[in-house]
Structure 1
């Protein structure tokens, strides 16, 4: 599986990884020492819990698409805003607006360290 060479590639690489439905492939897009919010108000950290959250998302039937609304980079960190969905046979299974914090790795690739999948929803209260 291709790794993201720039922060602007992260969303496309993440969607392709999720579409493999392989938890290990998806986990390679993340820094598993980070955090993920697989649903509003639910923060997950720790490698085992992180993998379980990814497994649940991979279980949603359909194809994931991610549109990058913006990606802002400063040195070895970047923040992205996304609009994503999983669609199966023309029916949207889940869709949201997310915010992702990415960090460049020692090998030059980029990984997500914070994935707030619903972080840009208008009705979300922090």
Structure 2
């Protein structure tokens, strides 16, 4: 899997990575020194805990879809707002509205630095 070369392609690339079911493929999408919030109110940082959080998300079997609501970029930083879901056989297992911060890498690709999977949910307090 190639990393996205445009910030606005990061959501689609992340969904494709998750749909492989392969941990290393998904982890390539992230800067694991960043933050991931796999469930409301539970931010995780540090490579070991970050990987553990990604494994937990991968354990939800199904197909991930991510719709980009917007992506704003300035220089090497971008913020995206997403609506995502994991479905299995028509059953929605989890769905939410997220916010992601991305950073352009030295090779021109984009990685997610902050993934607040529930960050745009109504009434959520960080």
| Aligned equivalent of 2:108 | 108
Segments of 5+ residues of structure 2 without an aligned counterpart are none
Task: Tell me the TM-score normalized by structure 1.
Answer: 0.99
Pair 1:58 & 2:91 matched = no
Q: Deviations over 1:33-90 (max 9, x none)?
A: 1000000000101111101100010010100000000000000000000000000000
| Aligned pairs for 1:1-126 within 5 A | 1-126=1-126
Secondary structure of residue in 1 paired with 2:20: coil
Segments of 5+ residues of structure 1 without an aligned counterpart are none
Q: C-alpha displacement at 1:2, in angstroms?
A: 1.8
The RMSD of aligned alpha carbons is 0.5
How many pairs does the alignment contain?
126
**Mapped partners of 1:52, 1:79: distance in 2:** 24
In the TM superposition, structure 1's runs of 4+ consecutive aligned residues that sit over 6 Å from their partners are: none
Task: Tell me the TM-score normalized by structure 2.
Answer: 0.99
